[in-house]
Structure 1
């Protein structure tokens, strides 16, 4: 049997023969008997071990059994150990009364009744074991309770996350349906009108000017739907870490000029304009398609919330690389909303129904970060916003693909 599983008993007597005789009576395979020939030795053992019972001889030199018992009762570690006194003195000395006053649970007179000693010690050993088992069970119950509390907290957290996920899914599906329905309805109505004119034989209406406008309108609606679908695909790729970058040498001022020119008609249609501040030639090692997507997203966002006011695009070099600023003079964004607008499906409070899935800025920041850069915003309500793209000229090795 392992030592840790054995019950420990302490016997204290200044005579070696008494210790040997008492140990012989108490010895069992599931017990460890510790001997002490003085009160000082007993105290040292009491501080190092957890005993089920202490059997103390009353009459010992230097420190008698009663004095040792008083010290034991005054120490937190030993005050709960049952004490049995043993004495060869006659009953007329009334030692038993003093022993019980000292906190003893029993008083034995020599010569000892072996069977009585064994029986009484067995009772105390069994009580000790029952206390130990009770403590063990209480510790196990407490640990189980703590585990259950943690599980409940985890379940509550998971439940909340699931509810949020379900709500986001429902909101997302509602937004997708709404955003796709608008261009689809426009295309459907236009198709119906054309079909009606064709059924009536009014082919003369379909001259070059009409066809040009028709194709332009159709392209605009189709591009709107394609962009929504591309945004959803990009989010899926980002979530699964399947977004691939193909860095090449990119002339940034040329890219900015191309994007601004491409959006000039859209800006004009919204009553706005986009101005690009001239900049010195600068090249970097980026994924050209993704950097163009970043600038397009920011300019489209500025047109959407810019209130028809002019938009400015500028770039400058920094210690880390290059910074591109997109400045609008629109409604602005509150400090509370600024961190939130970069999350999925989020738009600034007070959105005026300008549409969108709330994915553009989330995707934009992820694309910038994929290049080892960062995207931030400075804004005040009613004073417009400045979105700044910070890019290293060469992305860190770990983000190159």
Structure 2
């Protein structure tokens, strides 16, 4: 717990130093923007350097190379925001250099403008665009046109840099939020466990029925709150690779009943599960992806329940979420518990926000919808699997 808080405080300090933890972010200093000019004639290189360096952009730097191999060396040393390539060069011409640039990850997305003193031939232009050019300019170059085009690419490059910085800042804030949620959920589980134990003592040792009922209500409320905290802890974990889902309006209870009626699922179940539906169970979800998740949850329940009856409940009583619960009274063996819930030890009386290899695919489906999957297995409580989904796409975290 102490390490978690130290990590969180470190992240917050970093965010504050970067100007992203609250308030407006401080603008980062502009990095040099390099334009690569490749031409075999030194006078052309000097002319382009003078043209682009004469107050066009304060942070613009012009790199020059007199051949394709020299340009490749510069591309290995510098990040380039635009390349101006002469088509007609001895040895490696502009088309070949462009193809080499497109074949390397580092330079694949560098915009290329071809410069040529040749005739305006459609075939030459097509070849240039096939090599990856974004434009084709004929010599003699119009100074105003060239400066305008470079200024546009410089502005686009600056916007991409700003977007990348904002994405990085958002990712850092997401890590801070995840650490904070994990710390809070850890702090809440301790008092909840104490509440659960005291509620159990009231139920077992109180002489007055009113106290026993109060203990039962306390235990039920603490159990429900504990599972909500577990879902928060699950959502706070680093997201796994998300599936590509296509949610649409549907009825989770109807989909679950449909999967229960499927012959392949009936074949693995010892007996029809007890099925319960509460409230409005309609929401936005991908029926194909969720059907696969339900099938896998049913398979795991049938595999580990043994002779115990399986209970299934679709709960739509919450305004903004849907819940699918699958439970049975069998307590899992240590090996089965690790297979379903991983090797993490849950707090007494609480579910585990982690899943093991047996539940990875259903969890990926839940995460792809903006939800979570938790579960646990312990004495006097049996085994519980709980899949939480936001009711509407707008409610996704």
Q: Give the shorter-chain TM-score range.
A: 0.3 to 0.5
Higher-Rg member (1/2): 1
TM-score by length of structure 1 reads 0.41
Higher relative contact order structure (alpha carbons within 8 Å, sequence separation ≥ 6): 2
TM-score by length of structure 2 reads 0.41
